[in-house]
Amino acid sequence: MTGKGLMISVSGPSGVGKGTIINEVRKLFPECKHSISVTTRAPRGEEQDGVEYYFRTKEEFEKLLSEGEILEYDKYVDNYYGTPATPLIEKSNNGFDVLLDITIAGSLALKKKFPQAVTVFILPPSFAQLEERLKGRGTESEELVAKRLAKAREEVLSAEKFDYVVVNDDLQTAVDSIVSIMKAEKLKYDRQSGIEKTL
Ligand code: 5GP
């Protein structure tokens, strides 16, 4: 682990507020790098290739996969999303902290490959609140909300496989919890190995 940056992934069921939490954490740790994923979904709004994502065709994605360039990947709403291996490893080896916004299965796969990665699971305060949030978005049909809720009930069972669990009851408290996790993880001896010899 010596000299290596912190690799932290944040995952949770759809509608849990993960994106908002991650944006706030990023504002507080501007030096923390993004892991820019490759996706087969189309860009939304102002999204630019190489900034939010690398936008690729299904064939291009499959080629990267077969070349071993994708460290972990998952399918989400009919599109592939994957973490490019080389940039992540290089950033970490160069001592940069990297935050990954990936699915639950993605975090579990990352942890298998890099046991030193820190995984965080965001839980809703209750399923009733999750349902309210999903309905509140107003973008999804009742059927889709019910589908997402059923999936969330299944997904929360994976929380036990994560290093940390944060309940998103209140945005600021959830952000503070992730900041605390990052600060404590960065103070681990293994991440500062040999520091005492440099005094
Ligand atoms: P969106 O299309 O809303 O940007 O992302 C959809 C989902 O894909 C989010 O839950 C996001 O965390 C996840 N995701 C984005 N990039 C990756 C990736 O590289 N690997 C995995 N496993 N999930 C990803």
The CA distance from 109 to 65, in Å, is: 15
DSSP bridge partners of 53? 37, 49
The CA distance from 76 to 105, in Å, is: 11
Backbone angles phi, psi at 82, to 5 degrees: -145, 155
Please, what are the domains in the chain? 7-198 (3.40.50.300)
Best residue among 76, 77, 122 to mutate for probing ligand 1, ranked by most atoms within 8 Å of CB: 76
Burial of 2 by CB count in 10 Å (0-12 exposed, 13-18 middle, 19+ buried)?
Answer: exposed
pLDDT tens digits, one per residue of 27-81? 999 999 999 999 999 999 999 999 999 999 999 999 999 999 999 999 998 999 9
All residue ranges of the chain with pLDDT < 50 are none
pLDDT at 3 (0 to 100): 58
pLDDT at 130 (0 to 100): 95
How far apart are the CA of 189 and the centre of ligand 1, in A?
31
Q: Residues enclosing ligand 1, CB less than 6 A?
A: 37, 41, 72-74, 76, 81-83, 101-103, 106
Residue whose entry in the numeric block shows the structure tokens 């000299």: 3
How far apart are the CA of 35 and the centre of ligand 1, in A?
11
pLDDT at 55 (0 to 100): 98
**Closest residue (by CA) to atom 11 of ligand 1?**
102
**Closest residue (by CA) to atom 22 of ligand 1?**
106
pLDDT at 137 (0 to 100): 80
How far apart are the CA of 103 and the centre of ligand 1, in A?
6
The CA distance from 121 to 111, in Å, is: 13
Are 83 and 7 within 8 A, CB to CB? no
- CA torsion through residues 24, 27, 28, 29, sign: positive
